[in-house]
């Protein structure tokens, strides 16, 4: 009797598993039917390419990764750093609704004892398609400003380190929590509007010249200061090989303290490519109100910078590519109140489309009694 009961239970379990498997199995039925050839209706053809409704659950996940390791030498201490490893995960709820996240591990290894291992949530947002060209994002997303903040896989830019304007003035990588609306048009025009959490620069990150904007990013993923900032961007890519974009951001109070430090960021950039030739440039300006500290009597100056970068890339039929670039940068901020000019040149080698080896040289022309420096950088990166 006990044996029969066990057998019945086993049969029931097997039946349940088979039924569950049957639920998962028909994912590619339409595809298989289509591949048989012959006369097929328009509905059958359309159904074959309309994926998510009949996808198995694991097909709804997608993964990606990118990473880079750097070595810096010259007139700076030698430093080796596995700078970042990023895991991208997305889940497609249906054709119109998805979740996207990126988790980043920074400085997995570094010979610099002052460089600590950091885990960061770079993105985690829901995206809803309100129409073919109309999207709403909510959660933690990359602020739509500049060139590098949204697209920064190491295979997509020249130079081992990201350009200094998009680290000193635009604090890339810059994630904020809130809502973002995006609309694009057949003409190649796109606009974005976001309301989101604001910066919070602590008093310790102000010096006599003003705030360290980069330190204002709230890395702890807190929800304080929500909706105290707004960003608007217009982007145009309707002419072959050309991208033009401009963005403005208002921050209610970047210090979030007793001193009223409201701020405007304005930035614009262009990217032009024609065959192997490329030219890109970017300018960004912070207009920050208030004083460096309550009662200090010292008004904060603007912080701004710009760069221009010509390049040329040779693409070979075997998939390899080599590119070379030069870059001229100038910026003024709290650490360089009298300005700093950088001259940079280097080379990228792509053994495959998803991997890159980089080398570059930077000459830093510094002011304020600081010594000028030569820096040599070497790096490897991947993205898939």
Partner 1 sequence: MKHLPHILVIALALVACAHGAERVYMKPSDFIKSSFGGKIPDTSVLNLSGSVKSRAKKIMAHSYGESRVRYWKRGNRSVWILEEIGKTQPITTGLLVENGRIKSVEILIYRESHGWEVSKPFFTKQFSNASLKSGDQLSTGISNVAGATLSVRAVTKLARLALYFDSIT
Q: Which of residues 160-199 bind partner 1 (CB under 8 A)?
A: 177, 179, 184, 186-188
Give the x/- contact pattern for partner 1 in 298-337, rule: CB under 8 A: -------------------x-x------------------
Q: Tell the residue number behind the tokens 């963005």, with chain if given.
A: 247
Q: Which of residues 79-98 bind partner 1 (CB under 8 A)?
A: 88, 90, 92-98
User: Could you say which of 54, 243, 291, 301 contacts partner 1 (CB under 8 A)?
Assistant: 243
For 141-156, b/e burial (b = at least 16 CB within 10 A) is bbbbbbbbbbebbbbe
User: Could you say which of 37, 113, 295, 297 contacts partner 1 (CB under 8 A)?
Assistant: 37
Q: Which is nearer to partner 1, 64 or 294 (CB)?
A: 64
CB of 130 to partner 1, least distance (A): 5
Q: Which is nearer to partner 1, 241 or 258 (CB)?
A: 241
DSSP state letter for 300: P
Span interacting with partner 1, options 108-116, 128-136, 158-166, 167-175, rule CB under 8 A: 128-136
Nearest partner of 101 among 142, 60, 52, 151, judged by Cα: 142
CB of 264 to partner 1, least distance (A): 24
Q: How far apart are CA 21 and CA 31, in angstroms?
A: 18
Is residue 64 a contact point for partner 1 (CB under 8 A)? Answer: yes
CB of 238 to partner 1, least distance (A): 5
Instruction: Please name the helix (run of DSSP H) or strand (run of DSSP E) that holds residue 345, with its range, or none.
Output: strand 336-352
User: Could you say which of 240, 295, 369, 371 contacts partner 1 (CB under 8 A)?
Assistant: 240
Is residue 117 a contact point for partner 1 (CB under 8 A)? Answer: no
Is residue 294 a contact point for partner 1 (CB under 8 A)? Answer: no
- Sequence-separated (6 or more) residues with CB below 8 Å from residue 118: 104, 105, 106, 107
Is residue 116 a contact point for partner 1 (CB under 8 A)? Answer: no
Is residue 58 a contact point for partner 1 (CB under 8 A)? Answer: no
Is residue 223 a contact point for partner 1 (CB under 8 A)? Answer: yes
User: Could you say which of 31, 56, 78, 109 contacts partner 1 (CB under 8 A)?
Assistant: 31
Tokens standing for residue 125: 């947002």
Is residue 128 a contact point for partner 1 (CB under 8 A)? Answer: yes
User: Could you say which of 9, 25, 29, 227 contacts partner 1 (CB under 8 A)?
Assistant: 227
Q: What is the dihedral of CA 288, 291, 292, 297, to 10 degrees?
A: 150
Q: Which of residues 332-361 bind partner 1 (CB under 8 A)?
A: 352-353
Span interacting with partner 1, options 6-14, 62-70, 246-254, 298-306, rule CB under 8 A: 62-70
CA distances from 196 to 52, 159, 179, 181, 252 (A): 31, 31, 6, 12, 11
Look at residue 48 and give its three-state secondary structure: helix
CB of 35 to partner 1, least distance (A): 4
Q: Which is nearer to partner 1, 253 or 259 (CB)?
A: 253
Q: Which is nearer to partner 1, 224 or 365 (CB)?
A: 224
Give the x/- contact pattern for partner 1 in 254-293, rule: CB under 8 A: -----------------x-xxx----x-------------
Label residue 374 left, alpha or beta by phi (over 0 means left) and psi (-120 to 50 means alpha).
beta
DSSP state letter for 148: T
Q: How far apart are CA 115 and CA 272, in angstroms?
A: 36
Q: Which is nearer to partner 1, 152 or 214 (CB)?
A: 152
Cite the beta strand spans of 197-261 per DSSP E: 206-207, 210-211, 229-236, 242-251
Instruction: Give the phi and the psi of residue 33 in degrees, each rounded to 5.
Output: -65, -40
Look at residue 168 and give its three-state secondary structure: helix
- Sequence-separated (6 or more) residues with CB below 8 Å from residue 50: 95
98, 90 contact by CB (below 8 A): yes
Q: Which is nearer to partner 1, 138 or 287 (CB)?
A: 138
């Amino acid at each position: 009797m006990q044996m029969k009961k066990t057998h019945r239970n086993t049969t029931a379990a097997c039946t349940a598993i088979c039924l569950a498997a049957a639920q998962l199995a028909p994912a590619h039925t339409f595809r298989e039917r289509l591949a048989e050839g012959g006369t097929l209706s328009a509905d059958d053809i359309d159904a074959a390419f309309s994926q998510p409704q009949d996808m198995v659950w694991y097909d709804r996940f997608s993964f990606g990764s990118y990473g880079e390791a750097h070595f810096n030498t010259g007139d700076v201490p030698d430093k080796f750093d596995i700078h970042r490893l990023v895991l991208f995960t997305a889940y497609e709820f249906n054709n119109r609704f998805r979740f996207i996240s990126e988790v980043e591990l920074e400085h997995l290894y570094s010979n610099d004892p002052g460089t600590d291992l950091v885990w960061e949530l770079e993105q985690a947002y829901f995206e809803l398609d309100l129409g073919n060209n109309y999207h709403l994002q909510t959660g933690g997303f990359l602020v739509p400003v500049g060139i590098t903040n949204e697209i920064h896989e190491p295979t997509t830019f020249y130079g081992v380190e990201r350009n200094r304007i998009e680290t000193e003035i635009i604090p890339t990588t810059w994630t904020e929590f809130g809502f973002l609306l995006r609309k694009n048009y057949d003409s190649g025009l796109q606009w974005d509007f976001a309301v989101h959490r604001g910066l919070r620069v602590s008093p310790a990150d102000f010096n006599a010249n003003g705030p360290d904007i980069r330190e204002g990013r709230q890395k702890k993923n807190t929800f304080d200061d929500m909706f105290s900032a707004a960003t608007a961007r217009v982007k145009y890519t309707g002419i072959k090989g050309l991208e033009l974009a401009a963005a403005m951001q208002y921050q209610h109070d970047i210090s979030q303290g007793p001193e009223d430090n409201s701020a405007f960021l304005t930035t614009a950039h262009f990217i032009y490519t024609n065959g192997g030739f490329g030219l890109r440039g970017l300018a960004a300006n912070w207009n920050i109100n208030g004083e460096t500290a309550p009662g200090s009597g010292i008004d904060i100056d603007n912080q701004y910078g710009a760069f221009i970068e010509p390049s040329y890339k040779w693409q070979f039929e075997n998939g390899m590519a080599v590119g070379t670039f030069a870059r001229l940068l100038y910026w003024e901020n709290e650490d360089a109140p009298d300005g700093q000019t950088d001259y940079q040149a280097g080379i990228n080698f792509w053994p495959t489309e998803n991997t890159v080896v980089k080398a570059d040289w930077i000459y830093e022309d510094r002011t304020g009694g600081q010594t000028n420096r030569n820096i040599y950088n070497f790096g490897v990166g991947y993205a898939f």
